Amino acid sequence: MKKIYKCTGIIAVAIVILFLALYVNNDLGVSKSNIEKDARSSQKINDNWKVAKATTDSMSAMIFYDDNLSDHTFSIYVNRDGFSLGYFFRGGGSTVGTSEGIAEFKIEGYNERAYLSMNKQQISRVKIDNGQTVEFIEIDSTKPFVFILPANAGSVRIYDIDGNVIQSMQELL
């Protein structure tokens, strides 16, 4: 009986040491379900603010905004390649791209692009043409938006409510 307790104790200590090592090496991130909560907490974002967000297996992008659409902040998290658990904050804040236009974030080492906007240009539709198929994303022209596309998605055209093509502004993190 003492051997069972001793063995259990050794296993418990080994697990604690393993998690401490992961934590010290910054290999423990935020779970997919807690990304928004982490962003609100770490960036001190008001709980009353609304959020537009998109999450894939390797990236999460969010834009938080007040009821008047007069203030905002964004957050981008990435899920690192290799051995890591969860998503890690990569960048955030506000830019002219997110407030006045469409910010396109391409993060080095990741094969996706995040598009974020407060939607002052009244974007209503996105057309993605990879040469073989054409896909459309419908967007509410009165609300901020976020979407994530693979870097090799093909030609991306963003349209306002009048059918004009609007260019995104490339941003780096």
Indicate if 65 and 48 belong to the same structural domain: yes
Report, as an integer, the average pLDDT of 16-28: 49
Instruction: Tell me the C-alpha distance between 66 and 73, whole Å.
Output: 10
Domain count, the chain: 2
List the domain range (segments joined by +) for residue 17.
1-29
* Ramachandran class of 17: left when φ > 0, alpha when ψ lies in -120 to 50, beta otherwise: alpha
Indicate if 162 and 115 belong to the same structural domain: yes
DSSP states of 72-89: EEEEEEE--SSS-BSBEE
Indicate if 81 and 18 belong to the same structural domain: no
Contact between 115 and 102 under an 8 Å Cβ cutoff? The reply is yes
Per the DSSP assignment, residues forming a β-bridge with 129 are: 134, 155
Indicate if 47 and 98 belong to the same structural domain: yes
Q: Which two tokens stand for residue 131?
A: 């040469």
Q: CB neighbours of 36 closer than 8 A, spacing ≥ 6? A: 51, 53, 62
Indicate if 79 and 14 belong to the same structural domain: no
pLDDT digits (tens, 9 = 90+) for 106-164: 988 888 999 999 999 999 999 999 989 999 999 999 999 999 999 888 899 999 999 99
Instruction: Tell me the C-alpha distance between 93 and 90, whole Å.
Output: 11
Instruction: Tell me the C-alpha distance between 173 and 77, whole Å.
Output: 11
pLDDT at 95 over 60: yes
